[in-house]
Amino acid sequence: MENKNALPRVRALPPAALCVFTYLCNLFDYAYTLYGLRHWTGLREENPVFAALLRTPALAAAFKLVGVGGFLWLLYRMRAYRSARLGILCVAAAYTAVVVYELLLALVILA
């Protein structure tokens, strides 16, 4: 007997692929941020937490490379739970939005 209130099952990318994609978006965001802050006048980091971390470049790199990677690894390890899979999807969506925003910003700056 089916539960009428159950959410429909949606086929999505495998969690591992989403985690790799998200980490690549994270690397792009980090590289874009460093490049933009050095080469485009008037550009600033919008995330106040990361802006504070950028005062110490090694700390910023550790946060972006190890912190985000560790968080994605934890979500992946917990992928048997629905909330972890939802977390992977949310983080992937957020980083996708950030990358799209940055690409559009680059088009405006370079135009």
Kindly report, residue by residue over 42-92, the tens digit of the pLDDT.
888 888 999 999 999 899 999 999 999 999 999 999 999 999 999 999 999
Give the range among 1-5, 10-14, 18-22, 44-48 with minimum mean pLDDT: 1-5
Q: Is residue 96 part of a domain?
A: yes
State the Cα–Cα distance between residues 74 and 9, nearest whole angstrom.
23
User: Does residue 93 have a pLDDT over 90?
Assistant: yes
Which comes out higher in pLDDT, residue 47 or 93? Answer: 93
One-letter identity of residue 43: L
24 has pLDDT over 90: yes
User: What local confidence, expressed as pLDDT, does residue 44 receive?
Assistant: 85
pLDDT value of position 74? 97
Does residue 59 belong to any structural domain of this protein?
A: yes
Q: What is the pTM of this model?
A: 0.82
Amino acid, res. 74: L
Identify whether 74 is part of a domain.
yes
36: CB partners within 8 A, 6+ apart: 43, 102
Residue 2 included in any domain: no
Could you tell me the CA-to-CA distances from 45 to 20, 50, 59, 62, 110 in Å, in that order? 24, 7, 15, 17, 18
Task: Please tell me the total count of domains within the chain.
Answer: 1
Residue 6 inside a domain? The answer is no
Answer yes or no: is 10 within a domain.
Answer: no
In which domain, by residue range, is 76 found?
Answer: 15-110
Structure confidence at residue 2 as a pLDDT band (50, 70, 90): low
Is residue 5 included in any domain, yes or no?
A: no
